[in-house]
Structure 1
Amino acid sequence: MRITAVTCVKNEGPFLLEWIAFNRLIGVTDHLFYSNDCDDGTDRLLDALAARGVVRHLPNPAKGRNYQMEALKHAAHQQVVKQADWVWIADVDEFLNIHVGDHSIPALIAACHDPQAISVSFQFFANGGIETFEDVPVIAQFTRSHDPDIWCGDLACEVKSLVRKDFPLQYFGAHRPFFKRGLARDRRPQWTDGSGRPVPYRFLVAANPDRLRKFPARGARDFATLNHYALRSLDSYLVKNDRGDVNREHRAFDDTYWRERNDPAWRDESIHRYLPALNAALAELKSDPGIGALHAEAVQLHRAKRDVLLQQPTYRQMRDQLRAAPVLPPQEAAMLDRLGIG
């Protein structure tokens, strides 16, 4: 089974090897990376990995700022995607945590009875008071999250999707595929959540401009969860803020974004089942002198960027504001205020 992971990156150098190694452990056979405007060695590391046949690396084709959607349109025509049995579209801070069988994507597909798409619910992992960036696996460091059934008072949570090659595709979305317009009811794709249940009808039939990308999380994660490490360390969050994201350059993440994802109510270490094999796979990748040196350079440049940012008063203020921010999501704090419990 060929499984291709597609992603867009900008200044993710220190985190690339972990994500690649982890995906290979769960059954990803091919990686297609698009990069843009990197100054931390991300592109050089990806070029080196591509030269060794580990990934495919292309410049992002976007002419404006819609980096992710332009890349996904381009990816649909690449052989590494067209020849795949399944396509997995995710970001480098997202890890597919599979709870069934041998904890691989093929095991998840089998548990869901081989549908044409599987949409897996997010679980946002909190910063947990970790300030300093360390060059150790992200999945080992961050173990606290919101209650997986409730995020910021919302019972619905966003998803990311695995897509089978015979899905009647109109286009790939970042969170879910969209099937062809005018498709007869009896030709709509078989599509499940992370528990192998049919996705909700409104989600299934949503089309542009609705673009529904979430549904209730309760009961949807029996077979798999998508661990999303959107914050990581405070150091890395400051660098992320400087970078912006793949869709909008220079977007400022205020403390609302941080607080919505920094709820430590739940402890979940289930993904640690992968750590022994992950550490061995990382050591193997880094044993290549060229790859190891480029990874070390990306780590050094990540720390250097943090140091440069903290010379600016605005970033020192941001760091202090995030340190002092309450761990209650804003929506939950507002609800408590309304109830007079704050």
Structure 2
Amino acid sequence: MRICAVTCVKNEGPFVLEWVAYHRLIGVTDFLIYSNDCDDGTDALLDALVPAGVVHLPNPAEGRNYQMEALKDAARQDLVTGADWVWVADVDEFPNIHVGDHSFAALIEACGNPQAISLSFQFFANDGVETFEDRPVIGQFCRAHNPDLWCDQSAIEVKTLVRRDFPLQYFGAHRPFARKSRAPESWTDGAGRAVPGPFLSAAKPRRIRKFPAAGARRFATLNHYALRSLDSYLVKTERGDVNREGRVFDESYWQERNDPAWEDRSIQRMLPALEAEIAALRTLPEVARLHDLSVQAHRAKVGMLRARPEIAARAAHLAALPALPPGEAELIAELGLAETPR
């Protein structure tokens, strides 16, 4: 079975090896990775990862809508059209599969081999980690929001694994869109349940095109490390969004994703195998050197940013913000839920 992962990157050099290694462990055979405007060596590192199944292309965007233009191009690439399954995700997102051998194949079997499987986000908090460390992200961050809730909502965004015969009109960043003339035969959540009709038909406006997360994680969830360390978040805000030009990572972005109410270390069962796979990738020609150079560039960028008084003040402000995001306390009270795991 061939599974192709598609993503877009900009200055993600320190995190590429972990993401590729992890996805190889869960069954991804091919990677189609688009890059734009990198100055930390990410592009050179991707070129060196060709023996690991990576195809690296410059982002074809002309209108600066980087992700959607790349996905439009990806749908025509042989690596994607020849795959049995396509997984569109970002390099801070890791499928945490709870069944079988924790692979995509085990998830597909558990869900009954549908045409698409949508995994609910679980945002992992910064939880007071200030300093960037060159070690697996999945081993550094273990606290998240109540995974059934996010801010003032009980419906959470997803990312989707898509089978070859899905009646595709186009790939979206979070889910595929089907041709109007033909509906998908089967589409499940991460518990193998059919997704709700309004989600299936994309009947709602984009901002609320989600479905309830409660009960959706029986077989898998999607660990999303959107913040990482405060150091790396400062670099992220300076870099801008890989998906589209002009997006601002303001304090609401931080606070909405920095709720550490629940502890979840389940993905860390993958750490021994992940560290071994990273070590194996580092033996490929030039990979270790280029990874280390990207780490040096990341640390240099952190030092440059923290030396600016306005950035130092912003970092202190972010670190001092309340952990519970706006609206969540009210929703917890309304639903009669506990704020911490039962």
Q: Aligned pair 1:272/2:268, yes or no?
A: yes
SS in 2 for 1:330: coil
**Contact 2:152–2:326 (CA under 8 A) maintained in structure 1:** no
Paired residue type of 2:7: T
Partners of 1:199 and 1:334 in 2: CA distance: 27
Say which is worse superposed, 231-240 or 212-221, in terms of deviation. Answer: 212-221
Aligned counterparts of 1:300 and 1:80: Cα–Cα separation in 2: 32
- Give me the whole-angstrom Cα distance separating, in 2, the residues matched to 1:227 and 1:221: 11
Larger deviation: 160-169 or 279-288? Answer: 279-288
Question: What's 1:77 paired with?
Answer: 76
* 1:160 equivalent in structure 2: 159
User: Could you list the runs of 5+ residues in structure 1 that have no partner in the other structure?
Assistant: none
Structure 2: distance between partners of 1:209 and 1:127: 30
Match of 2:225 among 225, 229, 240: 229
What is the aligned counterpart of 2:277 among 269, 275, 281?
281
Please report how far the alpha carbon of residue 57 of structure 1 lies from its aligned counterpart in structure 2 after TM superposition.
0.3
SS in 1 for 2:247: coil
Aligned equivalents of 1:232, 1:155: Cα separation in 2: 24
Alignment coverage as a number of residue pairs: 334
Q: How does 1:127-142 map to 2 (within 5 A)?
A: 127-142=126-141
Residues 150, 156 of structure 1: 8 Å contact kept: yes
- 1:263 aligned residue: 259
Task: Determine the structure 1 residue equivalent to 2:12.
Answer: 12
Give the Cα separation in 2 of the matches to 1:161 and 1:188: 14
Distance 1:53 1:329, change over 3 A: closer
Q: Does 1:323 align with 2:322?
A: no
Q: CA shift at 1:253, angstroms?
A: 1.1
User: Does the 8 Å CA contact 1:176/1:213 hold for their aligned counterparts?
Assistant: no
RMSD of equivalent CA atoms:
1.8
Name the SS of the counterpart of 2:157 in structure 1: strand
Long gaps (5+) in structure 2: 335-342
Q: Which amino acid aligns with 2:326?
A: P
Deviation at 1:287, TM superposition (A): 2.3
Aligned partner of residue 327 in structure 2, secondary structure = helix
Distance, in Å, in 2 between the alignment partners of 1:211 and 1:110 is 31
Pair 315,206 (structure 1): closer, same or farther in 2 beyond 3 Å? same
Alpha-carbon distance between aligned partners in 2 of 1:213 and 1:263, rounded to the nearest angstrom: 22
Once the two structures are TM-superposed, the CA of residue 333 in structure 1 deviates from its matched residue by 5.6
Distance 2:298 2:142 in 1: 23
1:168-207 to 2 correspondences below 5 Å:
168-183=167-182, 187-206=183-202
Opposite residue 286 of structure 1, the aligned amino acid is: R
- The amino acid across from 2:143 in the alignment is R
**Which residue does 1:115 correspond to in 2?**
114
Aligned to 1:39: 39
Kept in 2: contact 1:5–1:31 (CA 8 A):
yes
